[in-house]
Amino acid sequence: MSLTDPTADFLTRIRNGLQAQHDAIEAPASSLAKEVARILKEQGYIESFEVRPPEPRRAGERVRVGLRYGDDRKPVISGLRRVSRPGRRTYVDARHIPKVQGGMGTTIISTSQGVMTGHDARRKGIGGEVVAEVW
């Protein structure tokens, strides 16, 4: 099975896992998925993530994401949105990086210096492709 947008698939698996109140999800690993998971961990949206080696009869590495919940088993992530899609890419310069939920959320941006949060990209004065928004 080939996906046209592995990043959207990765974000959807996280969204579905949270809705079903799973402790963890597993998804095919891509370099962007690993970087998105790293940022989600750094920002405190997920418990953990690990890259698992390929299993027999399964193609490629897998990313396992430990989902995080707060009080009353309420998910820490209340929203997760893919911004730039294969059919419609979204690029911004440093001055136009969107603020999510008035600065309460996080923008994930793919720049020439790697994948980083919108806050870091704004501080470094670089723009790039807006991958996703999390709040």
Residues of the chain with pLDDT under 50: none
3-state secondary structure of 91: strand
Radius of gyration of the chain (CA): 15
Task: Dig out the tokens for 73 from the structure.
Answer: 């088993």
Q: What is the pLDDT of residue 3?
A: 72
Q: What is the pLDDT of residue 56?
A: 87
Q: What is the pLDDT of residue 58?
A: 81
Q: What is the pLDDT of residue 2?
A: 62
Q: What is the pLDDT of residue 57?
A: 86
The pTM for the full model equals 0.94
Task: Read off the amino acid at residue 85.
Answer: R
Q: Are 134 and 117 in contact (CB under 8 A)?
A: no
Task: Dig out the tokens for 17 from the structure.
Answer: 């896992």
**CATH code for the domain defined by 6-73:** 3.30.1370.30
Q: Are 66 and 47 in contact (CB under 8 A)?
A: yes
Residue whose structure tokens are 């670089």: 126
Q: What is the pLDDT of residue 55?
A: 87
Q: Are 37 and 46 in contact (CB under 8 A)?
A: yes
Domain locations in the chain as residue ranges: 6-73, 80-134
Does the 80-134 domain belong in CATH 3.20.20.70? Answer: no
Tell me the percentage of the chain whose pLDDT exceeds 70. 99
